[in-house]
Structure 1
Amino acid sequence: MAGRRDPAVAASDQWLDDEGVREPRGSVHAWRMGTNQTLCGIPLHKAGLRRFPHVLWLDARWLADTTDQRLVLCHRCAAATGERTARRSWTRWRPRP
């Protein structure tokens, strides 16, 4: 079971998988349950986003890579979840003297 810190998904559209489970499609954003906006600040209701509390942000990233459905992951939400912190920081190879 996921912890409370793991964001779920809100998306502009949906599709049903082979087992009949709703999955996100279209513009996909990270969303914390109990709030009315995505991590990048978009209000869910005004933007017409559907909530997917059973789909975690990590699962949406996996779905974007493995399914034929079109998922466009929000780069601002990705930054808000801290995805880029695992990368090496930028270093200069040939600094000027």
Structure 2
Amino acid sequence: MPRRSDPAVAASSRWTDDEGVREPGGSVHAWRPGTNQTLCGLPLHRAGLERFPHVLWIDARWLADTTDERMVLCHRCAAAAGDRPGRRRWTRERPRP
């Protein structure tokens, strides 16, 4: 069971795996369900990002390494999600209203 704080994924495109499950592709961002923006501050609707609440950010990192599909993980979302152990997390200062 994922923790509530674990970010899910929003992506610019999608593909279907062998079992018929939608998977993210293209530009991939971390997103917390219940919000309308990615962790790096990109608005989902305006950027044309599709939500994947069933895919956690950790799983997207694994998919990017193991699949042949093209996936580009956002480096700001990776920093905000805490993917860099031992380093300070990235946070937005002064978000737009």
TM-score by length of structure 1 reads 0.87
State the AA in 2 paired with 1:68: D
SS in 1 for 2:20: coil
State the AA in 2 paired with 1:64: A
SS in 2 for 1:65: helix
SS in 2 for 1:45: helix
Task: Please identify which structure carries the higher helix content.
Answer: 1
> 1:1-97 counterparts in 2 under 5 A?
1-86=1-86
Q: Which runs of 5+ in 2 are unaligned?
A: 88-97
TM superposition shift of 1:83: 1.1
Moved over 6 A (4+): none
In the TM superposition, what whole-angstrom CA distance separates every residue of 1:21-57 from its partner, at most 9, and x where no partner exists? 0000000000000000000000000000000000000
What's the C-alpha RMSD, in Å, of the aligned pairs?
0.9
Equivalent residue number for residue 95 of structure 1: none
The share of aligned pairs that are identical, in percent, is 79
Q: Which runs of 5+ in 1 are unaligned?
A: 88-97
In the TM superposition, what whole-angstrom CA distance separates every residue of 1:73-95 from its partner, at most 9, and x where no partner exists? 000000001111346xxxxxxxx
State the AA in 2 paired with 1:10: A
Between structure 1 and structure 2, the one with the greater Rg is 1
Distance 1:54 1:86 in 2: 28
